[in-house]
Amino acid sequence: MRSLIITAILSAAVIHTSFGQDTCEGLRGLLDKGEIEQAAALAQQVQATEHASCNNLLGEVYLRKGRNDVALNYFETALKLSKDGSEDQAASLNNLGLVFWNTGSSASAKDYISQALAIRSKLYDAGHEKLAASYNDLGLVSTNPDEALETYEKALAIYQDIYGENHQKVAQAKANIGIIYRNIELFGDAQNYFNEALNIWQNLHPDGHPNEGFIHTNLGRTYQLMNNLDVAKEYYEKALAVYQKHYGTKHPEIARTLNLIGNVYNIKGEFEPALSYYQKALIANAKTFDNQDLEANPSTDEYFNANTLLNTLFYKAQALEDLHHNLTLKFKDAKLSLTTLQVADTLVDKIRQISTNEADKLELGEISAQVYENGVRLCYYMADVAVKKDPYYELSFYFAEKSKSSVLLEAISDASAKSFANIPDSKLSEENELKSEIAYYEQKLAQKPEEAVASKYRERLFALKQRYNVFIADLEKNYPQYFNLKYNVPIPSVSQLQETLKENQAIVSYFIADRSKRLYVYQISQGKFNAYNVPQTENFDRYLSGLRNSLYFKEDEIFALTADELYEILFPGSVHKSVDHLIVIPAGRLGTVPFEALLTRSAKGFPLDYKSLDYLINDYAISYQYASALYYQNHLNPRQANQKPSAFLCAPVTFSQLDDLPGTNQEVSNLQQILSGKGIKPEVYLEANASEEIVKSKNLKDYRYLHFATHGVVNENNPALSRIFLKESETNDGNLFSGEIYNLQLGADLVTLSACETGLGKVSKGEGIIGLSRALVYAGANNIVVSLWSVADASTSNLMIDFYGNISGNDYSAGLRQAKLKMIRTGDFSKPYYWAPFILIGQ
């Protein structure tokens, strides 16, 4: 979770001799003294100014007041008034970065501050304090502790060289270094740096300064991590007194500090005082909300800092649940906890709407996942004790589904919204060009080029993202229907899902509650809805990794154990007897195992007779989906698949640095014959013709089927480097990266990646697996077939040939099941290693 106690340390803007100089100098003096209220009063007297430096100062005043919205306007004005490559431009970018960091957009913040640093590096010598200011702020927004410590130490060295030891900027740098040491649990070093910083502030400002509150807060947090709650609370109370003296009664820092005091009480089991502090935090972070009644919550439109409000709501809901379980057992306390979580859920949606950076949205997924886990758990418990159980079981399912693939859903809704909002083709073409360029530079930076080249790439990427943000803002303003459709991604109810299901279909959806070590399972068929709450055994994760490893390395005993145990955990109740097609919606790491290979009965006798085992696939065709909302959206507003009877078949066959795949030549040739026999016209691209250039130059919307028989690789640490391998040309390197796949415009009903590990990727909390399959879904593929591990050339060719031969209409799950059952029962490929890795994501 984002730290709640780091505050922005602002860099100074340059004051030029210009209109309003006296006012600007007055503002700077008041800010330096920490007299925020006086600075705010003076700022309100300032008329509009055409000077970037004054706008930067005015923005700083409001940023310190917690008014990020007002500060943002001033900084954006300053940026527009600044000359390219000037200090005013650098200061504006730096301050905008701090606004983005304050509002929870770490990735955007780092982009802006890095760009400011690049400008200042050209303007100043290496020891200039402006560079130190950018180093300091870059450390502030960095999510990598080693990187943050390095930049903080650069800032400290410069400040010490210029000012000696007794200066506020030295104190700021030392405090920030202390935070890093605390975060890596070097508590003694952290305390030393905090105390040195505190001494400097007290020497410089005998009458007090808000940054003393910052130091007290961090010392309190350090003692809390050392399990000394009483001392931690004393420091938090000191910080609160400092903030109230300088900020008044309403400010995000006051709210954050009240949260911390409330947390201490809650940890100690003193729930009522904790709730009192959380309610005070809600009041401190809202412009007009002043209701001390615990049943009241502020509007999700009224806050100074959205992330602080989200945390307060989460803490309040948790304390109410704890109060219920440990003291009162009153159902009304549980209901109030649920109401508070629902407000938090609404706030998450609003934060997601105003965030433009996907990395920031993924980070929000980490925070919101805790809200959803509490919602799942609380609603399931309330169902158990309530007279009317179904509404609470359904709310539990709602929270479980809110945790899944929200960024992907929004991206797909965005694409769908554009098609319904009558946006001109010229605008869509402009967007595609921008996105392609952004993907290109992101992919280049992900390869970590030398710094001189990387700096140019970052500068270009920053400019492109700025253009793209302006472009999207223009669409949302000028095409209101687009805005409404883009952000309207409702979670379907159980009854709505039941209306879409055929008699032979059932949805099985999962939610992993990591903190409580529980697994929630929801089974939905036409006339039946069941919810289960089962414990994650201490071996649960070992079973998951054990199943994958045993399938890949063909280890009989481990496979027999894990496939049987996982079936018992994942299917705690029987599915309706009329069902023969399961639509599995996995959660997190469950997306890395093939459910088809689970054993519905224990295997006996070793070595195993793999032809006669009771696999789950014996009973069901199985397809996978990222979220019920995506499944429902596809049924409600199906993306129009190309209806032309055409196919694009591609196989490079030979590779310069990878093993050749001779079987793919025959695979594609056989598919050509099969598809031709079904009245489908295939275009075949083999060897040198199977190039990246061909893929990018063809209008892929013209094909119902796309088939790539090649090598693939997934980079779990950096999904942008995941790719499939094609032939290179003068203009393309032969690597079709995931970022490039995102920008393909597909009209295919089926895309098959007959390659290794194409279904894997980075497991992101709240989003599932981020990799090639996700990119294909976004690009417009209705159904995709991908693999979960490295596959054998010959067996893959056999499977693909049978799969395409079995396809009837668009029932791909049944066709894939029949192909797998044939491999199990005949030939040399009955072991799951050969048939289990290929899975269908779609219908």
pLDDT of 433-448, one tens digit each? 777 677 667 666 666 6
Could you tell me which CATH number the domain at 639-841 has?
A: 3.40.50.1460
Torsion sign (Cα): 298, 302, 304, 306: positive
Length of the chain: 843
768: pLDDT confidence band, cut at 50, 70 and 90?
A: very low
The yes or no reply on domain 249-403 and CATH 1.20.1440 is: no
pLDDT value at 308 more than 80:
yes
pTM, two decimals, is: 0.76
Residues in contact with 431: Cβ distance below 8 Å, sequence separation at least 6, in sequence order: 468, 471
250 close to 289: Cβ distance less than 8 angstroms: no
- Per residue in 326-350, pLDDT (tens digit) is 999 999 999 999 999 999 999 888 7
Query: How far apart are the C-alpha atoms of 237 and 147, rounded to whole Å?
Result: 32
Does 451 or 575 have the greater pLDDT score?
575
DSSP three-state, residue 649? strand
Which range, 250-254, 285-289, 472-476, 803-807, is most confident? 803-807
Provide the pLDDT for residue 763. Answer: 43
Query: How far apart are the C-alpha atoms of 573 and 533, rounded to whole Å?
Result: 11
Q: Using a pLDDT cut of 90, give the percent of the chain over it.
A: 48
179: pLDDT confidence band, cut at 50, 70 and 90?
A: very high
- The H-assigned helical ranges of 205-269 are 210-225, 229-247, 252-267
Provide the pLDDT for residue 310. Answer: 92
765: pLDDT confidence band, cut at 50, 70 and 90?
A: very low
Q: What's the average model confidence in pLDDT over 794-806?
A: 90
Q: What's the average model confidence in pLDDT over 520-524?
A: 97
| Rounded (to 5) percent helix, strand, coil in the chain | 60, 10, 30
Provide the pLDDT for residue 761. Answer: 42
Residue 8, H or E segment: none
Per-residue tokens: 709: 């028989």
85: pLDDT confidence band, cut at 50, 70 and 90?
A: very high
769: pLDDT confidence band, cut at 50, 70 and 90?
A: very low
Find the helix packing angle between 252-267 and 306-323, rounded to 10°.
20
CB atoms within 10 A of CB 63: 21
pLDDT value at 723 more than 90:
no
- Per residue in 478-501, pLDDT (tens digit) is 776 666 555 556 788 999 999 999
Q: What's the average model confidence in pLDDT over 195-215?
A: 91
Least confident interval from 187-201, 295-309, 441-455, 774-788: 441-455
341 close to 371: Cβ distance less than 8 angstroms: yes
Provide the pLDDT for residue 3. Answer: 28
Per-residue tokens: 556: 């009989």
pLDDT value at 321 more than 90:
yes
Instruction: Tell me how far the alpha carbon of residue 501 is from its chain's centroid.
Output: 30
pLDDT value at 20 more than 80:
no
pLDDT value at 13 more than 60:
no
Query: How far apart are the C-alpha atoms of 77 and 13, rounded to whole Å?
Result: 14
Does 347 or 49 have the greater pLDDT score?
347
**C-alpha closest to that of 411 among 347, 472, 480:** 472
Provide the pLDDT for residue 402. Answer: 86
Q: What is the Cβ-side half-sphere exposure of residue 667, based on CA atoms within 13 angstroms?
A: 30
- Per residue in 650-706, pLDDT (tens digit) is 999 898 888 888 888 888 999 999 999 999 999 999 999 999 999 888 888 889 999
Which range, 53-57, 381-385, 435-439, is most confident? 381-385
Encode burial over 711-733: b for 16+ CB neighbours within 10 A, e otherwise.
Answer: bbbbbeeebbbbbbbbbbeeebe
pLDDT value at 2 more than 60:
no
pLDDT value at 27 more than 80:
no
CB atoms within 10 A of CB 750: 24
Q: Using a pLDDT cut of 70, give the percent of the chain over it.
A: 86
**DSSP state at residue 4:** S
**C-alpha closest to that of 661 among 834, 793, 797, 835:** 793
Q: What's the average model confidence in pLDDT over 731-739?
A: 82
> What is the DSSP annotation of 344-410?
HHHHHHHHHHH---HHHHHHHHHHHHHHHHHHHHHHHHHHHHSSS-HHHHHHHHHHHHHTS-HHHHH
From residue 235, give the alpha-carbon distance in Å to each of 201, 217, 229.
16, 6, 10
Per-residue tokens: 718: 């950096």
State how beta strands 581-585 and 505-513 pair.
parallel
Domain boundaries, the chain: 249-403, 426-478, 499-632, 639-841
Torsion sign (Cα): 156, 159, 163, 167: negative
Provide the pLDDT for residue 764. Answer: 43
Query: How far apart are the C-alpha atoms of 785 and 788, rounded to whole Å?
Result: 10
Least confident interval from 123-132, 392-401, 445-454: 445-454
Does 777 or 812 have the greater pLDDT score?
812
**DSSP state at residue 599:** B
pLDDT value at 9 more than 50:
no
Q: What is the mean pLDDT of the chain?
A: 84
Q: What's the average model confidence in pLDDT over 87-110?
A: 86
- Per residue in 542-566, pLDDT (tens digit) is 999 999 899 988 899 999 999 999 9
Least confident interval from 6-10, 168-172, 211-215, 505-509: 6-10
**C-alpha closest to that of 115 among 100, 104, 102, 127:** 100
Q: What's the average model confidence in pLDDT over 64-69?
A: 73
Provide the pLDDT for residue 640. Answer: 58
> What is the DSSP annotation of 258-313?
HHHHHHHHHHTT-HHHHHHHHHHHHHHTSSS-----TT----TT--S-HHHHHHHH
Burial class of 786 by CB neighbour count within 10 A (0 to 12, 13 to 18, 19+)? buried
Instruction: Tell me how far the alpha carbon of residue 51 is from its chain's centroid.
Output: 38
pLDDT value at 135 more than 90:
yes
Query: How far apart are the C-alpha atoms of 547 and 539, rounded to whole Å?
Result: 12
pLDDT value at 87 more than 70:
yes
Q: What's the average model confidence in pLDDT over 297-308?
A: 84
Query: How far apart are the C-alpha atoms of 337 and 582, rounded to whole Å?
Result: 34
**C-alpha closest to that of 622 among 397, 842, 835, 401:** 842
Q: What's the average model confidence in pLDDT over 148-175?
A: 93
Q: Give the Cα-Cα-Cα angle 425, 431, 434 (nearest 5 degrees).
A: 145
Query: How far apart are the C-alpha atoms of 154 and 623, rounded to whole Å?
Result: 53
> What is the DSSP annotation of 410-460?
HHHHHHHHHHHTT--HHHHHHHHHHHHHHHHHHHHHHT---HHHHHHHHHH
